[in-house]
Amino acid sequence: MGKLRRAGVVVALAGLIVTTLAACGGSSEGPNQQPAPIPGAAKLDKVTIGISFDQPGLGFKDGDTYSGFDVETAKYVAKALGVPESGITWVQADPGNRESLLTSGQADMVFSTYTITDARKQVVDFAGPYFVAHQDLLVRRNETEISGPTTLDGKDLCSVPGTTSAENVLNFYRGRIQLKELPRFSDCVQALNNSEVDAVTTDDVILAGFAAQPQYQGKLKVVGKGFSDENYGVGIKKGNTALVDQVNAALKQYVADGSWAAALRITVAPSGYRLPGPPTPGAA
């Protein structure tokens, strides 16, 4: 084979590799910054999105900076719908106000570790799921008595009202434990660190994010005995089926082009959480 022909083959192979990587989408560093537009999506200049402000690795506000997997997912979806990142207005979505943000029109979409449930479907619509977590327990590092949900008798647990975590505890452990409800999970984690409660219960991925925070490293641990499936969905105002369909299309693309996995690697993986495979968006 002549030198010119060999060079041509090398160039062609290099081009093929680049094209293939582009088709797979998302670099190894993060999600695709320019997702393909979703056909039929209205070209909006701005959108208001609700996220948590105090869940490290998922939805976190630090000054004017917003970070986490929910944030990356929301940015990808917004761009796929034609809204630039500069057109996103972030609002705080806590467990107690997620439905009201949507029903009142204060938010167009909510990405806030928002578990899809039949009860919530009576009030709002969901796209997704885009992640599946599992309810677990966060305890102090030297805790030996609590090794899972079957060892909670007589213990003081902390959770947040309006969450499936609190609902599960009340449904299955009523009378066996004392449930303390505080406004935010960060409040519960601080109470645990101060020995005011024995454990914090919510989704494992949320707990892992808190345990990885510098002030709690070496002090707290996730038990690792998940006892529920929590399908995270995108909350959308009831009846807006067109937006639900468009967000589902964006989420399917998010998974297919590699951006879903890339977003998890830069936001959740640093906590040590074992990354799962993707769910099937549109199955909500």
Domain for residue 284, yes or no?
no
User: Sheet harboring 199-203: ordered strands across?
Assistant: 178-181, 156-159, 199-203, 135-140, 220-222
Are 178 and 43 contained in the same domain? Answer: no
Q: Decide the pairing of beta strands 88-92 and 156-159.
A: unpaired
Query: Which pLDDT tens digit goes with each residue over 249-261?
Result: 999 999 999 999 9
Residues 6+ apart with CB under 8 A from 142: none
Domain for residue 206, yes or no?
yes
Domain that holds residue 209: 135-222
Give the residue among 86, 67, 76, 126 at the shortest CA–CA distance from 261.
Answer: 76
The pLDDT value recorded for residue 254 is: 98
Query: Which pLDDT tens digit goes with each residue over 43-83?
Result: 778 999 999 999 999 999 999 999 999 999 999 999 999 99
Are 250 and 215 contained in the same domain? Answer: no
Are 115 and 166 contained in the same domain? Answer: no
Are 163 and 243 contained in the same domain? Answer: no
Are 140 and 261 contained in the same domain? Answer: no
- As a whole number of angstroms, the distance between CA 15 and CA 36 comes to 21
In the structure encoding, which two tokens stand for residue 122, read together? Answer: 């009576």
Q: pTM to 2 decimals? A: 0.87
Are 100 and 144 contained in the same domain? Answer: no
Q: How many domains does the chain have?
A: 2
Domain for residue 18, yes or no?
no
Give the residue among 110, 120, 100 at the shortest CA–CA distance from 164.
Answer: 120
